[in-house]
Structure 1
Amino acid sequence: MLDVRRMRMLEAVVTLGSVTAAAAELGYTPSAVSQQIGALEKETGTELLERVGRQVRPTAAGRLIAAHSAAIGRRIAEAETALADLRAGRTGSLSLRYFATAGAGLVAPAVAAFRREHPGVRVDLALADPEDPLGAVRRGEADIALVVPLARQGDADELLMAERLAEDPYRVVLPKGHPLAAKRVVDLGRLAGEPWVGNEWPPGPCLELVTDACAEAGFVPGFAVRSEDHATALGFVAAGLGVALMPLLGIGGGHPGVVVRKVRGPQPVRVVQAVRRRTQREGPALRAMLDALREAAGGGR
């Protein structure tokens, strides 16, 4: 393998026209430069410079090596610039996984704000796997995952770290014309005999919050219909098929056929966490995305 430092010395001699000028430019003695070029000639097995009087000029091999040295120098400079941009957060990529109801209310404004400040950073957005929402982060396929942790969370994952990003309180969603729609706050126990609309199926942490709250109020909700998303559930409630408890992020702009009321006794609140790997370097781009998510969350709901 050719010695890059010696190649750069040869390049300087070819560019400047003499060993003495190259030595002065590089901060070496002429003798040291001559020795290093002699060593490079041994590495290549051919003469690289020929003497013409007191001057030297490159052989064909010398010109070839000098040209490659210049190309290497340009690539190194490009690498240094690219690395500086990456370290400063001007380029690179970030991957974010999120759950559906965090998309419009949290992820969209955060990513829009991030892109205004870091237009050169590519952002990869995708829904998390509902059965393994942290898997992509754990495997290094994503930088951040937004999750709602289980209420009865097991032992902490030593590989991951979680930040409490926002609180998302639940509201009672009733059909228009429901007897309780006139109230500003609904006692959860008043809904014990109602048909219920489920808005998370298959079951997950959000359904767990609902059933736990109902259990605390002294009843088990009787689900008349189940849906996989909040928009469909709102339509079911509007049609009079039942009542529901939904998080504010899931309700979004609501539905013209429903009313949304605060709930008490108890009021469920889900926590939204931003999870990442403990070993991950927190560079400027990652910090900026976390700041944007915090800003979008409004410091907690």
Structure 2
Amino acid sequence: MLEWDIRKLQILRTLREQGTVTATAEALRMTPSAVSQQLTNLAKQLGVPLLEARGRRVRLTDAARLVLRHAEAVFEQLERADAELSAYVHGEVGEVRVAAFSTAVPALAVPAVRALRATHPGVSVRVREAEAGEAYELLAGGEVDLALSLAAQAPEVGDGRFTRVELLADPLDVALPPGHALATVEGLRLADLAGESWIFGGSGPWSDITRGACEAAGFSPRQGHSAAGWTAILAMVEAGMGVALVPRMAAVRRDGVVMRELGADRPVRHVVAAVRRGSEAGVAVGRVLSALESVAGRLARW
């Protein structure tokens, strides 16, 4: 029987995700030469070539991809074993590290932490604000245990590294200046705002969400001003400089701004939680997921 080395398989897996030996070394806090040596040794142990040169980069061979396809099941089982052992040793005691995007921190993570303090005080939650790209790198690298993100920015459902949990369809409301002609119109639709000047970021997820929602309603938004923070966006709306979409979950309210629910074409953004596949069996992680689902359920009834 072949000799399988879990650590070396993890290095090969990370190389697949990072694309280069240098990036793999940085992600694993190793030197590039150590990464290369470990992969060379793994290839000798397995008796098959794992890498082939392509310019200054390397690519995985078909044999390497076959090895990783089977290794994913091993990694998942090890996560389950780690989770069950943790539950055996600690019972209801444990720490769960959560990475969450900005509006998810006050709307989801903080209420979940408060609820757990009352129901399961032995479960400690450490929250770290991080947007999706960073959050999933931290999750894959084992530096956090759970990531909260928008579904559009999460890894695909078929990504074998993670288990995704759908949490919430967060409605988007429209922010209008108080004297706006549509501020009191019944059954306001997003399409009614096609001729307005819009305020949103020049790039990034909120720009994509605003543009996508408006285009789904049949028009391309005319960007009058660019801002990323809710304080700046709502200050501009209050000054009559334009209108903006605001996520309900952000719970942002400002005197001098009229927040209106939209009618039939109301857009939403979907929020998900993700954990490393298999780790959801852990008692502490399961408690945090349940708390987040409970908070999300209350938000969904707004």
| 1:70 alignment counterpart | none
Shift of 1:186: 1.5
> Relative to 1, partners in 2 of residues 1:112 and 1:86: Cα closer, same or farther, differing over 3 Å?
farther
- 1:289 correspondence with 2:288: yes
Instruction: Say if 1:187 and 1:281 are closer, same or farther in 2 by CA, change over 3 A.
Output: closer
Q: 2:175 aligned to 173, 176, 199, which one?
A: 173
Quote the residue 1:28 is aligned against.
none
Residues 87 and 284 in structure 1, CA contact (< 8 A), matched pair in contact too: no
> Unpaired runs of 5+ in structure 1?
1-81
Q: CA offsets per residue over residues 186-227 of structure 1, 9 Å max, x none?
A: 1212211211111x55411x4323212211222211111122
Amino acid at match of 2:236: F
User: What is the aligned partner in structure 2 of residue 271 from structure 1?
Assistant: 270
Provide the residue aligned with 1:186 in structure 2.
188
Alpha-carbon distance change, 132 to 201 in structure 1, aligned in 2, over 3 angstroms:
farther
| 8 Å Cα contact 2:178-2:258 kept in structure 1 | yes
Tell me the distance in 1 between the aligned counterparts of 2:176 and 2:215: 20
Residue in structure 2 matched with residue 257 of structure 1 by the alignment: 256
Instruction: Give % identity.
Output: 33
2: distance between equivalents of 1:84 and 1:171? Answer: 42
Q: Secondary structure at the match of 1:181?
A: coil
CA separation of 1:153/1:240 partners in 2, compared to 1, >3 Å: closer, same or farther? Answer: farther
**Aligned equivalents of 2:275, 2:285: Cα separation in 1:** 10
Residues 114 and 292, structure 1, Cα contact 8 Å, conserved in 2: yes
Residue 141 of structure 2 is matched in structure 1 by: 139
Give the C-alpha shift of residue 175 in structure 1: 0.6
Name the amino acid aligned to 1:196: W
Q: What are the equivalent positions in structure 2 for 1:143-158 lying under 5 Å apart?
A: 143-150=145-152, 156-158=158-160
Q: Is contact 1:211-1:220 (8 Å) kept? A: yes
SS in 2 for 1:273: strand
User: For the structure 1 residues 215 and 84, does the alpha-carbon distance in structure 2 shift closer, same or farther, using more than 3 Å as the test?
Assistant: closer
Instruction: Give the stretch that moved more between structures: 129-138 or 180-189.
Output: 129-138
Structure 2: gaps (5+ residues) = 1-84
Residues 196, 243 of structure 1: 8 Å contact kept: yes
Distance 1:228 1:109 in 2: 24
> Could you tell me how far 1:162 is from its partner in structure 2?
0.7
Structure 2 length normalisation: TM-score?
Answer: 0.65
Give the drift of 1:95: 0.2
Given that residues 189 and 214 in structure 1 are in contact (C-alpha distance below 8 angstroms), is that contact kept between their aligned partners in structure 2?
A: yes
Partner secondary structure for residue 97 of structure 2:
strand
In structure 2, what residue type is equivalent to 1:262? E
Question: Residues 269 and 154 (structure 1 numbering): CA distance in 2 closer, same or farther, change over 3 Å?
Answer: same
Q: CA RMSD in A?
A: 2.4
1:1-301 to structure 2, matched below 5 A, reads 86-90=89-93, 92-150=94-152, 156-198=158-200, 200=201, 202-204=203-205, 206-250=206-250, 252-264=251-263, 266-280=265-279, 282-298=281-297, 301=300
Aligned residue identity for 1:215: E
When residues 256 and 88 of structure 1 are mapped into structure 2, their CA distance, relative to the original with a 3 A threshold, is same
- C-alpha separation between the residues in 1 aligned to 2:294 and 2:199? 32
Instruction: Give 1:178 shift.
Output: 0.3
Task: Report the count of equivalent residues.
Answer: 216
Q: Could you say which structure has the larger radius of gyration?
A: 1
**Which moved further from structure 2: 126-135 or 288-297?**
126-135
C-alpha contact (below 8 Å) 2:279/2:285 kept by paired residues: no
Residue 43 of structure 2: aligned partner: none
Q: Using the alignment, how far apart are the partners of 1:112 and 1:86 within structure 2?
A: 25
- What SS does the corresponding residue of 2:261 show, helix, strand or coil? strand
Q: TM-score, normalised by structure 1?
A: 0.65
1:43 matched residue in structure 2 = none
The separation in 2 between residues aligned to 1:265 and 1:111, in whole angstroms, is 35
The alignment partner of 2:115 has SS state of: helix
